[in-house]
Structure formats: structure tokens, C-alpha cells
Amino acid sequence: MAVADHKVVGKVKQESPFCPNIAATPEGDQVWLTLKDVGKTMAFSARPPFHVLKVLDTGPITNHVNIVRNAHGRFAYVTVGGLNAVLAFRTDTFEQVARIPVGELPHGIWPSGDGTRIYVGIENGDTVTAIDTLENKVVATIPIGQAAQAVVYVPNAVTGLEPRKPYVLALSPTADAGGPLEPLAGFVTNPADAAIVNAVGPIRQVVQGTGGSPRRYLVILGGTPAVTGAPVQVQLQ
């Protein structure tokens, strides 16, 4: 979950400070929080007065939570390492609707863009498991190695950057990268044409600026922040 402001706008009493993991609903009305060391998951309102909606006993080594919206409704999926399972709960009634065996010590979890799949990192199985969220059953197990702990799914991701080349991540006032650009970070791609770019600080400064907040688009350009080249990728939405 991206956080653009560090101001305290409300307090929620937690039952344990240990190893929390947090996910917000796309609509921005709820936040779900796992408490690993006490085996619980909390849901609370993301709007004033930020009250607790439900505390669920999810089991030992409650790891991560994420939100899915599909044709059946909106659900929270929770990985529970001590059960070797993923639990699914409705976000309106908080009813548990599924317990899905997935393998040894499920950890990170992330839904597909259309909500029909959710992917789980199986830490002690060195795999990623794919779950059909309409049927709540495992449809694939993919060996990946390296004790998977975190999973991120990026819809409509674009590849094709040149390896070992400099690029710039920037904000543009237009979808075609026209107009004055605000460079956020420079980076050099690795041999596999990719890179991980940390731009949280610059984005926060832009968002918290004293000026207005016009619509802006993320773009990638060749070159460096000092000398940018032509745009090679632009934000679709």
C-alpha cells in the first residue's frame, strides 16, 4: 500500500505489535491487518472514526493478507503458515468462505488485476501457488526456489527496455509524455532488461507540495535525469 503522507489521522488499537502486514481495499473503505505472533487478522474502517470492524482468529503464523474483487464479491485472503493454508473471508459479513491447502508455510500473497487468480509464495516449498478465486482451489504450482516470501502482481506490465542502459522514471502532465517532466529517479537496467526503482520519497514530495494536484502520468525515458531522451514507456491509465 502506498503512503503519501505520514500525518497521524487516527489510531487503531492493535492486539500485538509484532510482524504486522497490511492491505487496503481498492475502494478505500477498509484496511486489513495481520498479527503474526498472536494468530489474528483485524479489519478496521479506513474512514473516521477508524474503528475496528472485526477481529478474526486466523491461526498460528498468520502472515500476509490481500484483497480480491471478483464476480462473487469482495474478499480478504490470508496466508496462515501454521495451517499450510489460505483462508478467504467476505469483507461485508467477515464470514470465512474457504480454507485452501496450498503447501508448506504460505507467506506473500497478491491478486491478479481481474481478481480471478491470487498467487501465494510457499516459503518452505520454494514455489508459487496460483488459486482460482471463483472456485477457491489451487490451479497451478510453480517451482521458483529461494524460499518465497513476498509476491507482487503488476497488471498490464510492459517489458522491452534495453539491457544495461540508463533510463529515467518521471511524471508527465500528459499521457504522451509531453509538457514539462518531473524526474523521479534514474536507473540502469540489468542484463535481463529490468530494474527495481525506489521513488517513494520524490513522489511523496510531489504529492505533499504546496501547489495544486493536477493529473499526472508515470513515464520512462531514455537517458539520465539531467539529459532525458525520448519516451519509451507511458502509463496506460
Pairing of strands 182-188, 166-172: antiparallel
pLDDT digits (tens, 9 = 90+) for 44-78: 999 989 999 999 999 999 999 999 999 999 999 99
Lowest mean pLDDT among 20-29, 54-63, 155-164, 207-216: 207-216
The residue assigned the cell 487478522 is: 41
* Gap between the Cα atoms of 136 and 132, Å rounded: 5
**E strand residue ranges, the chain:** 20-24, 30-35, 40-45, 52-57, 62-70, 73-80, 85-90, 96-101, 106-111, 117-122, 127-132, 137-143, 166-172, 182-188, 217-223, 228-234
Please give the grid coordinates belonging to residue 83.
495451517
Residues of the chain with CATH 2.130.10.10: 20-143
The predicted structure's pLDDT at residue 201: 59
Mean pLDDT of 150-173: 82
Reply yes or no on domain 20-143 having CATH 2.30.30.140.
Answer: no
Q: Per-residue pLDDT averaged across 106-111, rounded?
A: 95
Over residues 8-47, the pLDDT tens digits come to: 334 444 434 455 799 999 898 999 999 998 999 999 999 9
Is pLDDT at 209 greater than 70 in this prediction? no
Question: 25 is written with which cell numbers?
Answer: 481495499
* pLDDT greater than 50 at residue 236: yes
Tell which residue, 187, 207, 210, has the closest CA to residue 197: 187
Residue 109's beta-bridge partner residues? 120
Mean of pLDDT values over 207-211: 52
* pLDDT in the model for residue 158: 61
Mean pLDDT over all residues of the chain? 84
Q: Is the pLDDT of residue 191 over 60?
A: yes
- Segment 202-206 mean pLDDT: 56
The predicted model scores a pTM of: 0.69
Most confident of 33-37, 157-161, 196-200, 227-231: 33-37
Other C-beta atoms closer than 10 Å to the C-beta of 151 total 19
Residue of 210 and 165 predicted with greater confidence: 165
- Rounded Cα gap, residues 200 and 236, in angstroms: 20
- % pLDDT > 90, the chain: 52
Q: Residue 82: pLDDT above 60?
A: yes
Q: In what order do the strands lie in the sheet with 85-90?
A: 62-70, 73-80, 85-90, 96-101
Residue 199, pLDDT above cutoff 90 = no
- Check: CB of residue 120 under 8 Å from CB of residue 86: yes
Query: For position 13, what pLDDT does the model report?
Result: 42
When pLDDT is averaged across residues 113-121 and rounded to a whole number, the result is 95
